[in-house]
């Protein structure tokens, strides 16, 4: 497990990254800040906490993330858990938001 200061820094950077990603994908920036913050906090707790617990250093976290994006190495099972958790959390949030534009004017959809 990494040091407390490094863990707090990693969680804060992850929160800001998810918040910006949510804004880029169309979350309201000014009108509903609380919901966007809760989404970013949920994604951070799902993805950053396993990475903080499983890895020994912050540099190793970023090394595994960058190398997995470029397909240079095959991560071990321990290293792939945070990668898959983060990937599926973001994919699940995107899939859950895809039903919002549906037509909700029918009596059975309310």
Q: Is the pLDDT of residue 75 over 90?
A: no
Q: How many domains does the chain have?
A: 1
pLDDT digits (tens, 9 = 90+) for 26-41: 888 788 899 899 999 9
Q: Report yes or no: 10 and 61 within 8 Å, Cβ to Cβ.
A: yes
For the whole model, what pTM was predicted?
A: 0.76
The residues, ordered by sequence, that sit 6+ positions from 19 with a Cβ below 8 Å of its Cβ are 36, 37, 40
On whether residue 34 sits in a domain, the answer given is: yes
Q: What is the extent of the structural domain holding 22? A: 4-81
For position 2, what pLDDT does the model report? 74
On whether residue 53 sits in a domain, the answer given is: yes
């Amino acid at each position: 497990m990494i040091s407390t200061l490094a863990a707090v820094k990693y969680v804060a950077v992850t929160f800001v990254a998810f918040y910006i990603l949510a804004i880029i994908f169309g979350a309201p920036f000014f009108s509903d800040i609380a919901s966007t913050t809760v989404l970013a906090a949920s994604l951070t707790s799902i993805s950053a906490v396993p990475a903080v617990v499983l890895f020994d250093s912050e540099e190793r976290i970023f090394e595994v993330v960058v190398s997995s994006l470029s397909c240079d190495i095959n991560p071990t099972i321990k290293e792939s858990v945070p990668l898959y958790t983060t990937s599926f959390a973001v994919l699940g949030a995107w899939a859950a938001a895809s039903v919002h534009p549906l037509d909700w004017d029918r009596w059975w959809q309310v």
